[in-house]
Structure 1
Amino acid sequence: MLEMGEGDVPIVPSATVVPVRDGPQGLEVLLLQRNRALKHMGGEWVFPGGRIDPSDYPVAGDHDQAALHAAIRETREEADVQITLEQLHFLSHWTTPEGARRRYSTWFFLAVLDADAEIRVDGGEISAHRWVRPQDAFAEIRDTQSPFRLMPPTFVSLVDLADFRDCATARAALGARPPRRYAPRMIMQEGGVCFLYEEDAGYANLVEAVSGPRHRTYMINDQLEYIREGVE
């Protein structure tokens, strides 16, 4: 079922998996590169995921259960990895902001994989994969000569995981935390955009310069900065 957003832009239900493993130097996250020939986000590095299909609904209208089934299916289709419902932890939910040409309502799930899990991409929609420590991904983004770029939901998910030394610690801590929900509102900036989230003091009135809690992401000249201050 599609919701209709501003200007009758459909909001498409979708699901994403954030796969993690214990690497030689700590927690690593799996990223997949979308084929550069694709019109939508071609060449971008993303997590496994995609829209929820009608066949993913065990019960009509149950989006939460459908998202779990879609997450399992998409991970199998894009990375050739079989995960189970028990492996999935509801991490966050993202809604694409108004004004975007395509809008999604996306469930993000954390999944811990075995360190030796074999990843195979299809070479079609997905052209490559890599395991990366969040800290290394941040350093690569800061390198203006690097073509490596992430969209805000992927970046914020990596920030969520960056301080954990291993998968068990991450799973325990994030499992004790309610899922975070992001429905960004955009303020255009010179060279980019500021995404405000609901807990931000400027969210309701769409004001950037405001005192109080700050929960936002800046994406300026392909550089990302996530700020969460004064928010529980």
Structure 2
Amino acid sequence: MNDTAAPPQDQTIVRAATVIVFRSGSEGVPEILMVQRSAQLSFAGAAVVFPGGKIAPADEKQAAGFPAIPTDEAAARIAGIREVLEETGLILATHEKAGAQAAIDARAMLMHDEDLAPVLDRFGWTLDLDQLVPFARWVPTFKPGRIFDTRFYLADLGSGRVDLTPDLGENTRLFWASAKQALDMIEMDEIKAIYPTRRNLERLARFASFAEAKEHALNTPMDPISPWVDGDMLRIPEGAGYPVTIAPLSQIRIS
């Protein structure tokens, strides 16, 4: 797909970023941070997703401070870091270690303004955008309406154990689970997931560590994933790292 082409008139493209945060599980299996969105939201209401959200104008402005990275890429990484802090209270990708109380205070600042720069200045933190590893980019242009052009990143906490809470606005719950556990929960109807989340969980379930997932991401083409309808099925391209590339439309939740 030529992702620079103008969208159809009945579509609006919204640029977004999301972060797949890993930590080492107690049994050696990597766990992933998931959040459950409020049922009141128009997009993915009540669904479980990876934390993230729209790229804000302030993210674009701050991206100019990272000339070694393309501006749209830097803005997406900054947005991912900011959204994770807003939604979960977790601070990612800073050169400096952040204490628990500082994280609480930083999150409170973001609740009033979608701008990470003043927060970094206030606490003396600097961003290390290389800590976010590009994993995927989804642009589901097969449907009309609002389309999210979403970049997915990997980040690693190692063996870190931190106390996190959902924002209780956009998200009502958060939890850690292995990719396989999350898929099992979907199958048992304990949680709901939209199509991109499920496909990414299937891909993540193949890896026994963050290092494996990172190596895979660095060696897999980052072409945008644009599903298309084929009869009563929805398909995604082969060769993009996904073990499942076709699913019945009747079993799919898009938004």
1:9 match: 11
CA distance in 1, matches of 2:246, 2:154: 21
Structure 2 residue identity aligned to 1:86: D
Pairwise CA distance, 1:3: 7.7
Q: Would you say 1:32 and 2:35 are equivalent positions?
A: yes
Deviations along 1:121-156, one digit per CA (max 9) or x if unpaired, are 11111100111111122222222xx24121121112
8 Å Cα contact 2:44-2:194 kept in structure 1: no
Instruction: Describe the shift of the 1:125–1:15 C-alpha distance in structure 2 as closer, same or farther (beyond 3 A).
Output: same
CA distance in 1, matches of 2:88, 2:5: 29
8 Å Cα contact 2:22-2:32 kept in structure 1: yes
Instruction: Describe the shift of the 1:59–1:10 C-alpha distance in structure 2 as closer, same or farther (beyond 3 A).
Output: farther
Pairwise CA distance, 1:217: 3.1
1:23 match: 25
Q: Which has the higher contact order (CA 8 A, sep 6+)?
A: 2
8 Å Cα contact 2:17-2:52 kept in structure 1: yes
Q: Name whichever of 134-143 and 70-79 sits farther off.
A: 134-143
Aligned counterpart for 2:137 among listed residues 59, 80, 93: 93
1:78 match: 87
Instruction: Describe the shift of the 1:198–1:46 C-alpha distance in structure 2 as closer, same or farther (beyond 3 A).
Output: same
Instruction: Describe the shift of the 1:164–1:52 C-alpha distance in structure 2 as closer, same or farther (beyond 3 A).
Output: same
Could you state the TM-score of these two structures normalised by the residue count of structure 2? 0.71
CA distance in 1, matches of 2:180, 2:237: 27
1:197 match: 236
The share of aligned pairs that are identical, in percent, is 28
Deviations along 1:40-83, one digit per CA (max 9) or x if unpaired, are 22101011111111111124993111111111111111111111
Aligned counterpart for 1:126 among listed residues 159, 163, 171: 171
CA distance in 1, matches of 2:46, 2:24: 26
More strand by share: 1
The 5 A counterparts of 1:38-49 are 38-49=41-52
Pairwise CA distance, 1:221: 4.8
Deviations along 1:192-232, one digit per CA (max 9) or x if unpaired, are xx3222448xxxxxxxxxxxxx97231555479xxxxxxxx
Give the secondary-structure state (helix, strand or coil) at the position aligned to 2:33: strand
Deviations along 1:71-111, one digit per CA (max 9) or x if unpaired, are 11111111111111232000011002232422011111011
Aligned length: 204
Give the secondary-structure state (helix, strand or coil) at the position aligned to 1:102: strand
Structure 2 residue identity aligned to 1:136: Q
Instruction: Describe the shift of the 1:100–1:216 C-alpha distance in structure 2 as closer, same or farther (beyond 3 A).
Output: farther
Q: Name whichever of 106-115 and 44-53 sits farther off.
A: 106-115
CA distance in 1, matches of 2:6, 2:162: 39
Pairwise CA distance, 1:112: 0.9
Pairwise CA distance, 1:118: 2.6
Give the secondary-structure state (helix, strand or coil) at the position aligned to 2:40: coil
Please, what is the CA RMSD of the aligned residues?
2.6
Consecutive unaligned residues of structure 2, counting only runs of 5 or more, are 94-128
Instruction: Describe the shift of the 1:185–1:221 C-alpha distance in structure 2 as closer, same or farther (beyond 3 A).
Output: closer
Q: Would you say 1:67 and 2:76 are equivalent positions?
A: yes
Give the secondary-structure state (helix, strand or coil) at the position aligned to 1:181: coil
The 5 A counterparts of 1:41-190 are 41-57=44-60, 58-59=63-64, 62-84=71-93, 85-114=129-158, 115-143=160-188, 146-187=189-230, 189=232
Instruction: Describe the shift of the 1:126–1:24 C-alpha distance in structure 2 as closer, same or farther (beyond 3 A).
Output: same
Consecutive unaligned residues of structure 1, counting only runs of 5 or more, are 201-213, 225-232
Give the secondary-structure state (helix, strand or coil) at the position aligned to 1:39: coil
CA distance in 2, matches of 1:73, 1:46: 16
